[in-house]
Amino acid sequence: MGFVDGFSPSPPAPAPWSDREDLRRDLGLRAAEALADLSLVDYAAVGLGGFGRPDGFLARQVPRWLRQLDKTSARELPGLRDVGAWLEEHRPPDRPPGIVHGDYHLRNVMFAPDPPGRVVAIVDWEMSTIGDPMLDLGALLATWSQPGEEVFMNASMTDWPGMATREEIATAYERRAGRPLEHLQYYMALALFKLACILEGSYARLLAGTSEHAGHQSYETLVPMMVRRAQAIVAGELAL
């Protein structure tokens, strides 16, 4: 580990990103390209051959997160189990495994402090594993709010004027990865399903008095928002 000079996009953004719309578009595109590069890494060749359990990765996701939800949740989350059922019915075939960051969104990407946009680090690897790298792209797209949509990620710049669209981000990833994108609806919904289950556990700990993290209070409304967004994705109402 070491010091990296850069910033993670969130208000207030540093100059010149705060002032120039023409520069902001690069942030999403470069984040997508960095993620594509990560998906192409030969994980065994870099010493991660024994890291994670790639076999049956997608098949384990819904049951695994529902078990965690059942152990920790302090309330009902209408629609979440319906999303889980849809995911089980629409699970795509297994893909070649790769490195999965596990929590890939714009605020976990650091950019050089001066333009043009250049990724200098990807941070917060505590949920990383070996599995289907497309889940990371699903997370990036599902947490990306565009102008006119409900702001999903607090303190995020994704809906600022000049930012790339979800479609542009997916295209940048596809071009860099060199393979066609399929089943994006599934991966976007799965990313939100997983995140809702995880954050609901943090909210339950707050209610139980075992967490003093002030930010967990926002999960009272954020988790149901995730569920609604996942429902919109599986219904085809929110797409690229």
- What pLDDT digit, counting tens, does each position of 16-37 carry? 999 999 999 999 999 999 999 9
Domain annotation covers residue 91:
yes
Domain count, the chain: 1
Task: Write down the pTM of the prediction.
Answer: 0.95
Distance CA 171, CA 152 (A): 22
pLDDT at 148: 84
- Binned at pLDDT 50, 70 and 90, residue 216 comes out as confident
Dihedral class, residue 155 (left if φ above 0, else alpha if ψ from -120 to 50, else beta): left
145 belongs to a structural domain: yes
Residue 180 lies in a domain: yes
pLDDT at 27: 96
| Strand, helix or coil for residue 9 | coil
Q: Is the pLDDT of residue 188 over 80?
A: yes
The residue-averaged pLDDT of 172-182 equals 95
Provide the token pair at 45. Answer: 């060749």
CATH classification of the domain holding 137 = 3.90.1200.10
For residue 14, cis peptide bond before it (omega within 30 degrees of 0): no
Supply the pLDDT for residue 147: 86
Evaluate whether residue 240 is within a structural domain: no
Average pLDDT over residues 81-85: 98
Confidence band, pLDDT 50/70/90 cuts, at residue 154:
low
10 lies in some domain: no
Note whether 187 and 170 are within 8 A (CB): no
Q: Is the pLDDT of residue 238 over 80?
A: yes
High-pLDDT (> 70) share of the chain, %: 99
Residue 145: partners with Cβ closer than 8 Å, 6 or more residues away:
151, 152, 153, 156, 158, 159
Report the pLDDT averaged over residues 155-178: 93
φ, ψ for residue 120, nearest 5 deg: -110, -15
pLDDT surpassing 90 at residue 108: yes
Positions of E strands within the chain: 98-100, 109-111, 119-122, 129-131
The answer to whether 68 touches 197, Cβ cutoff 8 Å, is yes
Choose among 214, 82, 222, 219: nearest CA to 150. Answer: 222
Could you list the residue range(s) of the whole structural domain that residue 135 is in? 21-234
> Is residue 14 a part of any domain in this protein?
no
pLDDT > 90? residue 100: yes
Per-residue pLDDT of 51-79, as tens digits, reads 989 999 999 999 999 999 999 888 999 99
In a domain, 7, yes or no: no
In whole angstroms, give the CA distance from residue 41 to residue 50. Answer: 15
List the structure tokens of 151. 């702001």
Which residues 6+ apart lie within 8 Å of 17 measured at CB? 7, 9, 23, 24, 27, 115
Whether residue 15 is contained in a domain is answered as no
